[in-house]
Amino acid sequence: QLVESGGDLVHSGGSLRLSCVASGFTLNYFGIGWFRQAPGKEREWVSCISNIDGRTYFADSVKGRFIASRDNAKNTVYLQMSGLKPEDTANYFCAADKGPLPRSDCPDPREYDYWGQGTQVTVRD
C-alpha cells in the first residue's frame, strides 16, 4: 500500500512537499513514479526515480521546479515542488514498479504495480 500526503492549497510561487509512504513492502529497489490528474484531464506523468540508474527524471512542464527523492530508511519517497503555478493544480499520485524502470518506461502508467490514493494540490493566483 502507498499513502500520499502533503497536498494543500497554496498561492502561485509557493512550495509543497508531497510524501508517499509504503507499507507492506520495501520501496528500496522499486522504481517510483509521480503522476497527476486534474479534473476533466488525462492522468499526466510528472516524475520518476529509475531503479536502473538511480536518476530522477521530470516532465518538461515541471523540470527545474520539482525534485524527487527517496529515503529508504523511512520507506518514503518525496516530491518537492516549488514555483507552483495554477496549472499544477491536480490530484497527485505516487506509484511503484517492482520491475526495472528505465526512463523510457516512466510515463507509462501500466508499468507500475502499486498506486496511492492521491493527494490534492491546489494553486491559486
Mean pLDDT for each 10-residue chunk of the chain (125 residues)?
Answer: 97 98 94 97 97 96 98 97 98 97 97 98 97
Q: According to the model, what pLDDT value does residue 81 have?
A: 98
Q: According to the model, what pLDDT value does residue 9 have?
A: 98
**Minimal CA–CA distance to 6: which of 113, 124, 116?**
116
Q: According to the model, what pLDDT value does residue 16 have?
A: 98
CA distances (Å), origin 70, targets 32, 42, 60? 9, 26, 21
Q: According to the model, what pLDDT value does residue 7 have?
A: 98
Q: According to the model, what pLDDT value does residue 80 have?
A: 98
Give the separation between CA 20 and CA 74, rounded to whole angstroms: 10
Q: According to the model, what pLDDT value does residue 97 have?
A: 98
